Amino acid sequence: MSGILTRNCVATVIIQQLFNGLALGMAYALIAVGYSLVFGILRLINFSHGAVYAFSAHIALLFVGLNFGIIPAIILSIVLTGILGVLIDKTALEPLRMNNSIPMASLITTIGMSNIIQNLLMIFFNTERKSFPAFFDFGMIKFGSVQVNSTQVVMFVVSLILLVFLTLIINKTKLGLAMRATEQNSKAASLMGINTNFVISATFFLGGASAAIAGVLISGYYQIVYPGMGFMVGLKAFAAAVLGGIGVLYGSVVGGLVVGVSESYAATFMGSSYRDSVAFIILILVLIIRPTGLFGKKDIKKV
Amino acid sequence: MKRKLSIILTLAMVMGTFAGCAGKTSGTSSQSGGKASGTIKIAVAGPMTGDNAEYGKGFVNAANMMVEQWNAKDGVLGKKIEVVPYDDKNSGEEAASIAQKIVSDKDIIGVIGHFASGVSMAAAPTYQENKVIEISPSASHPDYSGMGTYIFRNNTVINVEAAAGLDMAINDLGKKNIGIISIKTDWGTSTSAIVKKLVTEKASTGVKVVAHEEVMEGSDDYSPAITKLNAAGADVVICVGMYNLVAPVSKQYKQVNPNIAVVGFSNAYSQQLLDLGGKAVEGLRFPVIFFSGSENPKVKTYVDEYKKRFGSTPSALTSQAYDSVGILLEAIKTAGTTDRAKVRDAVAAIKYDGVTGNTVFNEKRDVQKSFVKVTVKDGKFVEIK
């Protein structure tokens, strides 16, 4: 397929695809962080996260449609999606925790929640693909023969800032301290006077909000929104989270970037039909070679 | 951990299969149980939910409109006509089981549908075997109508359409470096092969295919393919796909290269293309058989009526579905019986003057129609004279 391309072209394509992959990878990282945050505290993989991401994009689209302006629409979407995250925990997961149910019950519950959210989106917004405004497109930026899409630069930078911000919250604030304490031992933390239920809610809020930012960024990049959009992206972000070591924030970033870039290269050199499988091939390899992921902690027992 | 994760992944896959099941069935069917003898039934099969739902719903709307006109004149052979919609979700497996349902209902004379070529071809053997007439208003795969004597196509074969599209790219737009983006389906792959073959035949004029990328339908991100096409120096992109490919490709390509010309196929002709594509589809060109902005009074009345009832302009495929229903009813009337073999012969011999021009089936049960060149200008479809 690349036989038609000249050598110079190939170099350009390789660099260009790197940018395509990095931008996408950062957005995956933002979603992966949501998996990581929740996993860190509850030892639970929250499979409703992909649907939460789709929800955020639809909410942003709704408010853009109501002429709120793009920035207020995004802020509303972030807040509402964060609240949705909290609601998922309060309505579906907290009762299970109170009853000391087996972990598998919570896991299946999150899958159920994912279907509920996705179907509600189908009912209220229809199944068709809808156009999303390209609100951060400032044309192309040229570096010699390499052109970089400003959209991709914005995606990368915004995601990076947010990830740094999240890391600061966790490492430098009181809430972050409480989160880390709950992560290590929730019973001990609650004995020390930490309101663990509040901490868990805050974690779900942060996870939802970061998914919302990723949702808005990716929708602005592809300019397409539909209820099923979160499924594949959610699974890929999950692969990214596992790759980096689930529960470790910077691991999610590295995992996201690896998945994004390898996906981009797979699409170039192996054909577009392989792009979706690459993330999962990586996931399987990681699970075989290094089950805890690249930066994962060894002592995870509860899963 | 390893084992747990494998369980988790399995669950996630299972979840994926369920995700597609939801959605609501819509379409205004004029049904009420239906007594065995009093009515003649026509099945309309197509995607009523999911990505291509617009097309399936269009088929049902068109069929209902045509049938109501006939019913207002006492139906056909003194019997009322009933439209029975079936949702095949644009999937071959679903279509095969729907075909079984359809052939088991003895009142159904014929089927209008299915939508995609691959899906139509999955269902066609069942219809042929049970002698049920299938008229697809949309299938354009060259092999479709060859599947049996009861299998008709009221849509132009893709070779003819590909030549028309290529003509626009080469002669009207004056482009020589052709890039192709095609969806990886039966139809997409064979159509892009046809386009390539046609370009090779014109190689003496300096026209060449600089790159061809196959993409997964509905993958949202086409930037890897676009990057390759752009690096190969394409100055026109032929988009082999529906509106849900053409709109995002136009948008994403124009971010990289605002001067790129895009040529589509008639199945991009849909209101959704304008909604989804916005400014990026300005200047997009494609050939169609039916153009709703036409001045022809017959077409105008039909378009106005459709707009009044369903609030949108009928697409080419919807209009072909409208004519297909007319053809089937006219054939029943000519045959004077509901015996499917006789109706089939009448369909094969028909000369039907409908909104998509004169329809005559050739010996391959295909139609030959002339093309209208259409472009998008100021957010509207405009005929190129």
CATH number of the domain residue B94 falls in: 3.40.50.2300
- B239 and B316 share a domain? no
Q: How wide is the angle at C-alpha B383 spanned by C-alphas B382 and B385, nearest 5°?
A: 135
Tokens standing for A16? 């260009």
* Option in A20, A129, A231 nearest B223 (CB): A20
* Residues facing residue B42 across a β-bridge: B83, B110
**Helices marked H in A226-295:** 229-244, 249-269, 275-289
Q: How many domains does chain A have?
A: 1
Indicate the residue type of B61.
N
Q: What is the pLDDT of residue B33?
A: 39
Q: What is the pLDDT of residue B313?
A: 85
Q: What is the pLDDT of residue B35?
A: 39
The whole-number average pLDDT for the span B33-57 is: 80
Conformational region of residue B217, where left means phi above 0, alpha means psi within -120 to 50, and beta covers everything else: beta
- B165 part of contact set with chain A, CB < 8 Å: no
- B306 and B205 share a domain? no
pLDDT-derived band at A207, boundaries 50, 70, 90:
very high
Q: How many domains does chain B have?
A: 2
Tell me the residue range of the domain where B236 lies. Answer: 159-288
Of the residues B1, B57, B274, the best mutation for testing chain A's interface (the one with the most A CB atoms within 10 Å of its CB) is B1
- B272 and B325 share a domain? no
Distance CA A269, CA A246 (A): 29
- B59 and B163 share a domain? no
Tell me the residue range of the domain where A223 lies. Answer: 30-234
From the list A275, A7, A21, the residue with the least C-alpha distance to A148 is A21
* Residues facing residue B380 across a β-bridge: B377
From the list A3, A23, A49, A52, the residue with the least C-alpha distance to A221 is A23
- B113 and B58 share a domain? yes
How do residues B250-289 score in pLDDT, each as one tens digit?
A: 988 988 888 899 999 988 888 888 888 888 899 999 988 8
Task: Say which residue the tokens 């996931």 belong to.
Answer: A283
- B114 and B220 share a domain? no
Q: Is residue B373 assigned to a domain? A: no
Q: Is residue B3 assigned to a domain? A: no
Lowest mean pLDDT among A141-145, B6-10, B124-128, B287-291: B6-10
Partner-chain contact A229 B215, CB within 8 Å:
no
Please name the residues in contact with B74: beta carbons below 8 A apart, sequence gap of 6 or more: none
* Residues of B with Cβ-Cβ distance to A238 under 8 angstroms: 12
Distance CA B213, CA B215 (A): 6
Q: Is residue B75 assigned to a domain? A: yes
Q: What are phi and psi of A185, to 5 degrees?
A: -165, 100
Q: Is residue A255 assigned to a domain? A: no
Q: Is residue B378 assigned to a domain? A: no
Q: Is residue A201 assigned to a domain? A: yes
DSSP A122: H
Partner-chain contact B1 A223, CB within 8 Å:
no
Distance CA B377, CA B175 (A): 20
pLDDT-derived band at A3, boundaries 50, 70, 90:
very low
- B87 part of contact set with chain A, CB < 8 Å: no
* Residues of A with Cβ-Cβ distance to B220 under 8 angstroms: 222, 224, 229
Partner-chain contact B219 A275, CB within 8 Å:
yes
Question: What is the ipTM metric for this complex?
Answer: 0.75
Q: What is the pLDDT of residue A299?
A: 57
Partner-chain contact B22 A238, CB within 8 Å:
no
Q: What is the pLDDT of residue B5?
A: 59
- Alpha carbons within 13 A on the beta-carbon side of B351: 0
- B251 and B345 share a domain? no
Q: Is residue A34 assigned to a domain? A: yes
The whole-number average pLDDT for the span B48-60 is: 88
Q: What length is written for chain B? A: 385
Q: Is residue B1 assigned to a domain? A: no
Distance CA B224, CA A266 (A): 9
Task: Say which residue the tokens 């209208």 belong to.
Answer: B372
- B232 and B316 share a domain? no
Q: What is the pLDDT of residue B2?
A: 56
* Residues of A with Cβ-Cβ distance to B51 under 8 angstroms: 127-129
Q: Is residue A160 assigned to a domain? A: yes
From the list B358, B317, B372, the residue with the least C-alpha distance to B61 is B317
The whole-number average pLDDT for the span B65-94 is: 92
Q: Is residue B117 assigned to a domain? A: yes
Indicate the residue type of B300.
K
Task: Respond yes or no on whether the N-terminal peptide bond of residue B114 is cis (omega within 30° of 0).
Answer: yes
Q: What is the pLDDT of residue B72?
A: 92
Cβ contact A25:A261 at 8 Å: yes
Indicate the residue type of B307.
K
Q: Is residue B102 assigned to a domain? A: yes
Q: Is residue B374 assigned to a domain? A: no
- B21 part of contact set with chain A, CB < 8 Å: no
CB atoms inside a 10 Å sphere around CB A14: 16
Burial of B35 (0-12, 13-18, 19+ CB in 10 A): exposed
Cβ contact B152:B136 at 8 Å: yes
Q: What is the pLDDT of residue B26?
A: 40
More confident residue, B78 or A144: B78
Q: Is residue A287 assigned to a domain? A: no
